[in-house]
Amino acid sequence: MDINAHNLPLLASLSVLLDERNVTRAAERLGISQPALSAQLARLRDVFGDPLLTPAASGKGMVITPRGLQLKEPLRKALRQLDDVVSQRERFDPKTSERTFAIGANDNATAIIAPRLIHALEQNGAARIRLAFRAASLSAVTDQLEQGELDVALVSRNGLPAGLPHRPLLEERFMMAQRKGHPRGARAPSLKEYAALEHVIVSGEGGGFRGFIDDALKAKRLKRHVAVSVQYYSVVPAILQGSDFVCTLPARFLDRYANMLTVLPLPFDAGRFNLYAAWHARFDNDPGHAWLREQLTSCARD
């Protein structure tokens, strides 16, 4: 007998028939009509070349043939094993798992999340789990997630891949940073003074000289001059230390450089820096991936 999608329901019906030895009761168990089950029994007799069940002399129920008796127990075991395979959920134990998780993030998100996530793994005894933090290309992040190059991408709201599941991790304000001993002093700037300063921006892949801050200033009929555009957050502190430039960055990033930079509030509402975790829908019910998402959420919250 060819085991395929068409014949598997026949085998399930045969197992119930061999148990019940009664078409009416078997049909009730299977949730189908008696004529439909009788048609299946006729098909099974053709497939096996054996009656399998014959009418009892009493007229009540049926008698199993030797071939049917030979099939009964092996068929029951085989169907039970198949059911176990289909219904069994994958288990994930971080203490024994040797899984590698690839996380796409820029250097800022990596600096925020990586130390805390590594600490969380140590606290959970997840010593065999490996983490690979990789650059997430905003233009290719959807493909990277879909093809399995990344398990999770840490992106801003504007960088969220369309149509993919995601969750917010953190939200915080922007601040202005300058070198210690800056000639303008350590007071918070006025709006006009802020616009008149020389600015550094992190432009990611684009390398452009315009960002969301410029849009906010334009709404106030002001314009700033961007002197330097860089792709990486991590180079900004060194640039600020060696110049009179200023830069507007997330507060949590600037906290790490409190000994190097003076951090000041902005003279206008620049919105909020936000970080999201995005992944492909095929991982929604994956226990290991769900565990990783919870760890990321916890790390960002703490």
Residue 89: predicted pLDDT: 62
Residue 3: predicted pLDDT: 53
* Distance in angstroms (rounded) separating the CA atoms of residues 205 and 55: 78
Summarised one tens digit per residue, pLDDT across range 76-114 is: 888 887 876 666 566 889 999 999 999 999 988 998 899
Residue 5: predicted pLDDT: 47
Q: What is the distance in angstroms between the CA of the first residue and the CA of the last residue of the chain? A: 59
Residues 6+ apart with CB under 8 A from 2: none
For residue 89, the 8-state DSSP code is P
Kindly list the distances between the CA atom of residue 230 and the CA atoms of 112, 175, 226, in Å, as whole numbers in the listed order. Answer: 19, 18, 11
SS3 content of the chain, % helix, strand, coil (to 5): 45, 20, 35
Pairing of strands 261-265, 225-230: unpaired
CATH number, span 171-274: 3.40.190.10
Residue 173's SS3 state is strand
Q: Are 209 and 201 in contact (CB under 8 A)?
A: yes
Tell me if 100-162+279-301 shares its fold with 171-274: yes
CATH architecture of 8-87: Orthogonal Bundle (1.10)
Pairing of strands 246-250, 166-179: antiparallel
Burial of 1 (C-beta count, 10 Å sphere; 0-12/13-18/19+): exposed
Summarised one tens digit per residue, pLDDT across range 230-255 is: 998 999 999 999 999 999 999 989 99
Summarised one tens digit per residue, pLDDT across range 8-42 is: 888 889 998 998 898 888 888 888 999 998 899 99
At residue 1, does pLDDT exceed 60?
A: no
Q: Are 287 and 90 in contact (CB under 8 A)?
A: yes
Banded pLDDT at 302 (limits 50, 70, 90): low
Q: Which residues pair with 155 in a beta bridge?
A: 276
Helices (H), 124-228: 141-146, 191-196, 212-219
Residue 86: predicted pLDDT: 67
Mean pLDDT across 189-199: 96
For residue 244, the 8-state DSSP code is S
Mean pLDDT across 60-83: 86
Predicted TM-score (pTM) of this structure: 0.67
- The domain limits of the chain are 8-87, 100-162+279-301, 171-274
Average pLDDT, the chain: 89
For residue 208, the 8-state DSSP code is -
CATH class of 100-162+279-301: alpha beta
